[in-house]
A and B are shown apart, each in its own frame.
Chain A
Amino acid sequence: MSASQELLDSIRGLAADVLGVSASALTAASGPDNVEAWDSVAHLNLVMAAEEQFGVSLDPSEIEGVHSLGELAGVIAKHRQ
């Protein structure tokens, strides 16, 4: 499994916990537009949980720019490089 796939899987698990949905129902394309529980508070919860789990700190603009789990994984990967 590639590092980026591993990161995405970790984020799917985190998102499942924060959003209260099954991880198997989430993909890289999952986001506020297609996951009902993903409102602005859940978005913040998810970002803060990811920051804590992966030891990174996103810029406010990056947080605003995340619209899917794939994008979140991309931003986190960039900070971990």
Chain B
Amino acid sequence: MALRIAPYTEADVAAVLAFNSRLTAGGADPAFRMEERSRALWIPPDGAGSLPYQEFYLAWDDDVVRGGYALKRQRFWLAGEERTVGFFRAPLSEGIIDKKYATIGGLLLRDALQREPLLFSLGMGNPERPLPRMLRGLRWTFEPVEFLFRAARPGRVLRGLRAVRTTAVRRLAMDVAAWTGMASVAFRVRQGALPAGEGGAFTERFSPAELNTLWNSARGAYSFSAVRDAAVVERLYPADDERFLRLEVREQGRLIGWAVMLDTAMRDDKYFGNLRVGTLIDMLAEPGREARVAAAATRWLTGRGVDLLISNCAHHGWADSLRGCGWRNGPTNFYLAFSPKLAKLLDPWDANRPGVHLMRGDGDGPIHL
């Protein structure tokens, strides 16, 4: 093999189509296909090098594509200063159908590490899949991220989840049943009423000055958090993209926090069937105001009429705030993994881990939702 890894350009699409066709013919899970466009739909490069952006790379064996991956580059608040950090996403290799190419996955990861040594991965599904196993083998810091849910319409959620026949979802359905008191009497524990208090207000566009003030006051509370200033928030969740639902939370007129959410009517989803799912993908608050923002987001999403509220939340304080609003933990398939060089900057890990603020917006964002 004369292997090389290079950025994905528009001229490469035909080779990617052929790669995907081989995966299909080889019986690969349809979830694993390379993007058939070179430019990412979510946060593509803007030509001016503005961060964050996401781009794709392809592994070539002569003139044949054998794999690829996505790399998101973003500024992070990391142990008291801003650094550029990479997010390694969606690596795919022909090794899934032909063992001859089994080493390509590792070469993709190494390529990403050469481009961004401060690298992390987030999500990844089953921890026994090849990527999480490889990351653990390479001594990455690896641990689960909490999955939290709140059943806004418990009856619909139970019926919806029971129709989905996967073990993890069945476990989630049992959790919903237990926490909403809809299972046996032995499990009759209620998830509690919606928290009282002032609600948040939907906004089509955040005020940049207020977002920047809030970010400057909040960042010191985190050991590791994507920069969430006005420019970044606008690139991640553009005001002209109606999928992103923006909520601002005020106290005596002052912005004390915000949340970004998605409201998705699922269609035969392998986890959520046909439920209407509200996803809390990002949040920020003044230190000490997390519970108010979590409560406002919970009330607002529930009021929209979703069946189920979900979130992935690495930060211990934010997770506690959601639990305080009746959210409960479900079985997680969401993991974070930090490269050794990134983890070293967060040493001692045990002390810094609670301050790691990662949510879905820091990973795949709206992809798959």
Residues of chain A having any CB pair with chain B under 8 Å: 39-45, 47-48, 57, 59-61, 63-64
Contacts and interface: CB of A to CB of B under 8 A. Distances in A.
A59 B4 CA distance: 7
Contact of B1 (A40, A41, A43, A64): A64
Contacts of B106: 40-41, 43-44
B1 A47 contact: no
B103 A64 contact: yes
A44 B221 CA distance: 36
21 contacts: A40-B102, A40-B103, A41-B106, A41-B134, A41-B138, A42-B137, A43-B106, A44-B103, A44-B106, A44-B134, A47-B110, A48-B113, A59-B4, A60-B3, A60-B59, A60-B111, A61-B3, A61-B4, A63-B103, A63-B110, A64-B107
B5 interface: yes
Contacts of B41: none
Contacts of B3: 59-61, 64
B271 to A, nearest CB: 29
A49 to B, nearest CB: 10
A63 B5 CA distance: 13
Contacts of B137: 39, 41-42, 45
A63 B134 contact: no
Contact of A61 (B2, B110, B111, B139): B2
Given A40-B102, A48-B113, A60 B107 contact: yes
B102 A60 contact: no
Interface string B121-157: 0000000000001100111000000000000000000
Nearest to A41: B137
A45 B139 CA distance: 9
Interface string B108-122: 011101100000000
Contacts of B107: 44, 60, 63-64
A interface: dominant SS: helix
Contacts of B139: 45
Nearest to B5: A60
Contacts of A64: 1, 3, 103, 107
A41 B134 CA distance: 6
Nearest to B2: A61
Interface string B80-121: 000000000000000000000011001101110110000000
Contacts of B113: 48
B111 A44 contact: no
Contact of B103 (A43, A48, A57): A43
A44 B114 contact: no
Contacts of A42: 137
Nearest to B138: A45
A60 B138 contact: no
Nearest to B4: A60
A10 to B, nearest CB: 20
Scoring B4, B103, B111 by chain A CB atoms within 10 A of each residue's CB, the highest score goes to: B103
Listed from nearest, the 10 A-B pairs whose CB atoms lie closest are A41-B137, A60-B3, A44-B106, A60-B107, A61-B3, A61-B2, A41-B134, A40-B103, A64-B1, A45-B138
B343 to A, nearest CB: 15
A44 B138 contact: yes
A48 B2 contact: no
A60 B311 CA distance: 38
Contacts of A41: 106, 133-134, 137-138
Contacts of A57: 114
Contacts of B103: 40, 43-44, 63-64
A64 B134 CA distance: 17
B140 to A, nearest CB: 11
A64 B108 CA distance: 12
Given A40-B106, A63-B107, 9 more contacts: A40-B103, A41-B137, A41-B138, A42-B137, A44-B107, A60-B107, A61-B2, A61-B3, A64-B107
